[in-house]
Structure 1
Amino acid sequence: MKTEISKMILPMAVIAVAVAGAFSSNAMNKNSKVFAPKQGYTHTSPSSACNISNTCSDIGTDFCTVGVEEVRLWGKTNPEATTCNVPLYKQ
C-alpha cells in the first residue's frame, strides 16, 4: 500500500518541481532584458554640441544626471545624430 502511494506521489512531485523551475527561469529571462544601456550626452542648449558623458538607460523613471549640479543627460536617436534630445534614466 505504501509503495503504491509513493509511486503516485513521486512523479507528481517531480512534475511540480519542473513546472516551478520553468516559471522561475522564464521570469529571470524577462528581468535580464529590462536594462538597455545607452550613451548619455550633456548639452547646455538645443544649439550646443552633445558632449559624451556617462552610460544611462532608456527605461526608468528617474532622469539620468551627472555631477554635483546634476546636469541632465540625453541620448541620440542614432549614433550619427548631431542633436541629443532623447530622455535617459538612471540605471
Structure 2
Amino acid sequence: MKTEILKMILPMAVIAVAVTGAFSSNAMNKNSKAFAIKQGYTHTSPSSACNISNQCSDAIGDICTVGLEEQQLFGKTNPNAATCNVILYKQ
C-alpha cells in the first residue's frame, strides 16, 4: 500500500519541483535584464545636445550625477535619440 502511494506522489513532487525551478529561473533572467548599465549624458538645456559622460543605471536609487557641482545625468530613450531626458540613477 505504501509503495503504491509513493509511486503516485513521487512523480507529482518531481514535476512540482521542476515547474517551480523553471519559473524561478525565468524570473531571475527577467530581473537581470531589467536593470542595466546605461550611458549618462549631460546637457545644459532641454534643447541642447547631449554630451557623453559617466555610466549610470536605470535601477531606482540615488540620482546619477557628475562633478563637484553634482550635475544630473540623463539617458536616451534609444541610442539614436537626439534628446536625453530619461532619469538615471547611480550604479
TM-score by length of 2: 0.70
Aligned residues: 89
Q: C-alpha distance in 2, partners of 1:34/1:80?
A: 20
- Give the deviation of 1:37 after TM superposition: 2.9
Percent identical across equivalent pairs?
79
Question: Does residue 39 of the first structure (1) align with residue 39 of the second (2)?
Answer: yes
**AA matched with 1:6:** L
Q: Which residue of 2 aligns with 1:2?
A: 2
Q: 2:24 aligned with 1:24, yes or no?
A: yes
Q: Which runs of 5+ in 2 are unaligned?
A: none
CA RMSD, aligned part only?
A: 2.6
Are the structure 2 counterparts of residues 8 and 48 from structure 1 closer, same or farther at C-alpha, using a change threshold of 3 Å?
Answer: closer
Q: Which residue identity does 2:23 align to in structure 1?
A: F
TM-score (norm 1): 0.70
Cross-structure match for 2:52: 52
CA distance in structure 2 between the aligned counterparts of 1:80 and 1:19, rounded to whole angstroms: 41
Evaluate the alpha carbon distance shift between residue 21 and residue 86 of structure 1 in structure 2; reply closer, same or farther with a 3 A threshold: closer
Q: Distance in 2 between matches of 1:86 and 1:13?
A: 46
What SS does the aligned partner of 2:34 have?
coil
Query: What whole-Å deviation, never above 9, does each CA across 1:32-64 have from its counterpart, x for those lacking one?
Result: 121133211223x21665432211234535321
